Amino acid sequence: MGPAGVVLNPEVLDDDPRFQWAHDRFCEMGLTGGFADRDVLELGPLEGGHTYLIDRLGARSVTAIEASARAYLKCLIAKETFGMLRAHFLLGDCLAHLRTTDRTYDIDVACGILYHLTNPVELLARRCRAIFLWTVFYDPEFIAKQEKPDARFSPAVPMEHAGFKHAVHRFNYGASLDWKGFCSGGELYSYWMEKPEILAALEHFGFGDFHVEQQPNVHGSALMLTARKV
């Protein structure tokens, strides 16, 4: 299970403070009620643990898109087990969904998915009025302290998406792919962004009113933020 995973036990689910944090930040930025009565798009629900929290915070609807067939089946079990009546799970590529839908959601949730993508900025350039993002990012200081700092990361690679020029670092999954519980993107690698690039990308696509926290994480520095369209 990746760093965004949650064991499906109601007592454990209630212990993840990130979603209450996001709920409170949304209230502070003028989204009265936070998640309550909002149409939420959740990208990468894994086993439905975070979907449960969003549902319990009163969302009007939760559309959750999971790419792993195994995890998707667990989401369906969780939906029935915990009575998530307002949650709708879809199996497939969340970016493919974003390319084809005309729907605009009130809140986008991307918790533990950005660093598994090969074009992460595409996920940030999407239709929503507000966003809650939690992601590990490429932190040069953290990487430099590792025993073999360049073993799994490439030097900066220039990219551009929808007019936003930026740099990414290729991360090779390596032996992690052999672990049965490992959940990743569909490729043998992903591209990680640096923190300033993530914030700049969101600003480029019209987001502002940022609430940002940086957290230590065993996989690297982690960024947690909320923002809304301004």
For position 190, which CATH number holds? 3.40.50.150
- pLDDT-derived band at 211 (thresholds 50, 70, 90) equals very high
Which amino acid would we find at residue 152? R
Whether 3 is in a domain gets the answer no
Query: pLDDT for 18-64, tens place per residue?
Result: 999 999 999 999 999 999 999 999 999 999 999 999 999 999 999 99
Q: Is residue 103 part of a domain?
A: yes
The verdict on residue 59 lying in a domain is yes
Q: Is residue 5 part of a domain?
A: no
pLDDT at 15 over 80: no
Nearest to 185 by CA among 173, 198, 201: 173
Please tell me whether the overall predicted TM-score, pTM, comes out greater than 0.85 for this model. yes
Say what the pLDDT of residue 218 is: 80
Residue 1 lies in a domain: no
Alpha-carbon distance of 211 to 26, in angstroms, equals 9
Within-domain flag for 208: yes
User: Three-state secondary structure along 31-100?
Assistant: CCCCCCCCEEEEECCCCCHHHHHHHHCCCCEEEEEECCHHHHHHHHHHHHHHCCCCEEEEECCHHHHHHH
Q: Residue 189 belongs to what domain range?
A: 10-229
What is the per-residue pLDDT for 14?
Answer: 55
The pLDDT value given to residue 5: 44
Average pLDDT over residues 142-161: 80
How large is the average pLDDT for residues 201-207?
Answer: 97
How many domains would you assign to the chain? 1
In a domain, residue 2? The reply is: no
pLDDT digits 0-9 by tens, 64-120: 999 999 999 999 999 999 999 999 999 999 999 889 988 999 999 999 999 999 999
Residue 58, in any domain of the structure = yes
Q: How many residues comprise the chain? A: 230
- Looking up tokens 């992690």 gives 176
